[in-house]
Amino acid sequence: MIHIPDFAHATTVQVIFCFLAFITVITAFLTIFSRNPIHSAIYLVICFFSIAGHYLLLNAQFLAIVHIIVYSGAIMILFLFTIMLMNLNEQREVHRPRITRLGAIVSFCLICVVLIAIFINSKPIVGEYDSTGEDFQSIQVLGKILLNEYMVPFEFASILLLVAMIGSVLLSKKEKLNK
Amino acid sequence: MVDGTFIIEKSVVIIVVFAITMIMAMYSTWAERKVAAYLQDRVGPNRAGWGGLLQPLADGMKLFSKEEFFPNTPNKFLFVVGPAIAMSTALMTSAVIPWGDKLHIFGRDVYLQATDINIGILYIFGVLSVGVYGIMIGGWASNNKFSLMGAIRAASQMVSYEVAMGLSIIALLMMTGTLSLKVISEQQSEWHWNVLYQPLSFLIFLICSFAETNRTPFDLAECENELIGGYHTEYSSMKMGFYLFAEYASMFISATIISVLFFGGYNYPGMSWMVENAGVNPANLLGIAVLFVKICFFIFFYMWVRWTIPRFRYDQLMNLGWKILIPLSIINIMITGIVILRHDIAVYLGF
């Protein structure tokens, strides 16, 4: 079970974690609730940064920096691009039919049930951690493991990305031809 | 390991690096005018102080005392955040740069680097990619078409050149086998500068740094005749100053990164001889001086190019980035891989 220590006895890491978690949750909610789409995107960027902070707390430097480069540095910038160029009106409330809202509520409740069930039934790690003596935050070790032990999944993931890339290029080309 | 003196030592290093970055950025503005004047056969600033040396201070005074103008924008907060992000990201990059090997002061070795993380180069790329937000948010919050166009131009240019930049660095990393800038500097001792082994990678990296810093042949973000002033059209007073200052700071930083990655950083021929014969401190002080000579040369190079080469057209810029530089760097990666594995390949082919 998760231990929540009282504030006076919290270690530095716990204090930082609480702070980061607070930012993460708040900005995630603000992403959904803010009216202006650009503000939503910026809140999402802040959210990503705080998640990178969580990775740093877990001693995963590489993951943290790659998260920043990929999500904040590339994906969210392209998002902002599109939103800025689409010139969305901030006051315009999109009309959603009642059935969609109902569906959204039902699926949200189902996801909540699943998540709560997972949290209740999840057990803490049984036994001790294996100490291999290897520094898993160094990218040298990470690279060796990725390209030796997990070679096949790694290649599959890259093929998946390649296919997605080709697909998106194809989609944008098709649109041009139809015009 | 983390004791009081360690914290003091690192704080001193950080503050000194910060001060030097600011001073270098300040005097880059002066140097830019002087170089421009020299190249155009003019005199340049010569009223404030000897040779115009106090000109940056006068400029700063002028910017501070100007009227603070806010455009009619619903996002006053983001309007202020834009230059702040630009400035802070320009200053953050210097954290992982090794300015020298070490100095021996008060009986302890002081490493002249704020922090040596084993993802040094990735950290720089991360900060660079965040720097785009400063321009984009500022341009958008100005609530002005021209600002938005400038911001989008700048951002798309930076994003597309980041790809080529990253790919060009991969060839270098395959050779060095590490991302830590400290180790990369140490590997380039004496004459083993990376530029001699990876000239193509250096060329691509250099071109991309011009694009990343929004300097001239690639300064489409702020071309006066099309976009008025680009993303900082609506800015005035010190907020404008922050954008300009960030540009010069990032120019200094990218000159530093080029010198560290490709031109041996603080290494100079005969450094180990100096360490043996003249002691650690003089040898390393000379190393810092050598690093700054290299940096100043590259800053001069930036200015030289600015007043020599005219601006690209926008489609030419994108073609250069996506159709020439990226394939070139991929070919470079392949060649590097073949050269690294040449013995294995020879064995495989039966030689």
The ipTM of this complex is 0.80
Residue A80 shares a structural domain with residue A2: yes
Instruction: Return the SS3 of B111.
Output: strand
Domain boundary among A89, A121, A156: A89
Q: Which of A12, A30, A40, A42 to mutate to test the interface with B (most CBs of B within 10 A)?
A: A42
Cα(B172)–Cα(B201) distance, integer angstroms: 7
Q: Is position A66 within any domain?
A: yes
Q: Which of A4-13, A65-74, B179-188 has the lowest mean pLDDT?
A: A4-13
Domain boundary among A54, A89, A124: A89
Which of A26-30, A59-63, B60-64 ranks highest by mean pLDDT?
A: A26-30
- Asked if A84 is an interface residue toward chain B (Cβ–Cβ < 8 A), one would say yes
Give the residue ranges of DSSP H helices in B263-279. Answer: 271-278
Q: Does A149 score more than 80 pLDDT? A: yes
Cβ separation B132–A73 shorter than 8 A = yes
Nearest by Cα to B151 from B201, B195, B86: B86
Residue type, B215: R
Q: State the total domains in chain A.
A: 2
* 10-residue stretch averages of pLDDT, chain B, 351 residues long: 75 86 86 87 82 83 82 80 87 83 74 77 86 85 81 82 87 84 82 82 89 78 66 78 85 88 82 77 83 89 85 82 88 89 85 75
B283, B274 Cβ separation under 8 angstroms: yes
DSSP B14-80: HHHHHHHHHHHHHHHHHHHHHHHHHHTT-----SSSGGGTTHHHHHHHHHHHS-----S-S-HHHHH
Chain B: closest CA distance from residue A157 (Å): 19
* pLDDT-based confidence at residue A24 (cuts at 50, 70, 90): very high
Q: Is position A69 within any domain?
A: yes
Q: Does A177 score more than 60 pLDDT? A: no
Cα(A114)–Cα(A153) distance, integer angstroms: 27
Q: Is position A3 within any domain?
A: yes
Task: Please give the average per-residue pLDDT across A151-159, as a whole number.
Answer: 91
Residue A23 shares a structural domain with residue A80: yes
DSSP code at position A8: G
Residue A1 shares a structural domain with residue A85: yes
* Structure tokens belonging to residue B34: 């002087």
pLDDT for residue B10: 82
Q: Give the CA dihedral A8, A10, A11, A14, nearest 10 degrees.
A: -140
* Domain extent for A152: 138-179
* pLDDT-based confidence at residue A1 (cuts at 50, 70, 90): very low
pLDDT for residue A115: 92
Chain A: closest CA distance from residue B20 (Å): 26
* Structure tokens belonging to residue B57: 């201070």
Residue A75 shares a structural domain with residue A148: no
Residues of A in Cβ contact (< 8 Å) with B169: none
Instruction: Return the SS3 of B279.
Output: coil
To the question of pTM greater than 0.80 for the whole model, the response is yes
Q: Is position A118 within any domain?
A: no
Q: Does A107 score more than 90 pLDDT? A: yes
Q: Is position A168 within any domain?
A: yes
**Displacement of CA B182 from its chain's centroid (Å):** 17
Residue A76 shares a structural domain with residue A156: no
Residue A80 shares a structural domain with residue A153: no
Residues of A in Cβ contact (< 8 Å) with B133: 45, 72, 77
Residues of B in Cβ contact (< 8 Å) with A73: 125-126, 128-130, 132, 162
Cβ separation B178–A140 shorter than 8 A = yes
Q: Is position A1 within any domain?
A: yes
CATH number at residue A41: 1.20.120.1200
Task: Please give the average per-residue pLDDT across A137-158, as a whole number.
Answer: 84
Q: Which of A8-12, A55-59, A142-146, B211-215 has the lowest mean pLDDT?
A: A8-12
Instruction: Return the SS3 of B102.
Output: strand
pLDDT for residue A3: 58
- Asked if B296 is an interface residue toward chain A (Cβ–Cβ < 8 A), one would say no
Identify which of B118, B152, B178 has the shortest CB distance to residue A81: B152
Cα(B251)–Cα(B210) distance, integer angstroms: 8
Which residue is associated with the tokens 């409330």? A93
Nearest by Cα to B86 from B302, B298, B241, B306: B241
> What whole-number percentage of chain B has pLDDT above 90?
0
> Pick the residue with more confidence: A25 or A6?
A25
Q: Is position A110 within any domain?
A: no
- Asked if A142 is an interface residue toward chain B (Cβ–Cβ < 8 A), one would say no
Residue type, A87: N
* Structure tokens belonging to residue B210: 């011009």
Q: Which of A54-58, A144-148, A172-176, B160-164 has the lowest mean pLDDT?
A: A172-176
B83, B242 Cβ separation under 8 angstroms: yes
Q: Does A160 score more than 90 pLDDT? A: yes
Q: How far is CA B128 from CA A10, B122, B248, in A?
A: 35, 10, 14
A–B interface: beta-carbon pairs under 8 A: 61
Q: Is position A99 within any domain?
A: no
Nearest by Cα to B129 from A169, A151, A130, A68: A68
Q: Does A134 score more than 70 pLDDT? A: no
Distance in Å from the first CA to the final CA of chain A: 58
Q: Which of B73, B76, B85, B122 to mutate to test the interface with A (most CBs of A within 10 A)?
A: B122
Residue A79 shares a structural domain with residue A151: no
Instruction: Return the SS3 of B108.
Output: strand
Residues of A in Cβ contact (< 8 Å) with B128: 73
Residue A80 shares a structural domain with residue A150: no
CA of B161: which chain A residue's CA is closest?
A74
Q: Output phi, psi for A21, to 5 deg.
A: -65, -40
Cβ neighbours of residue B144 closer than 8 Å, sequence gap 6 or more? B71, B233, B234
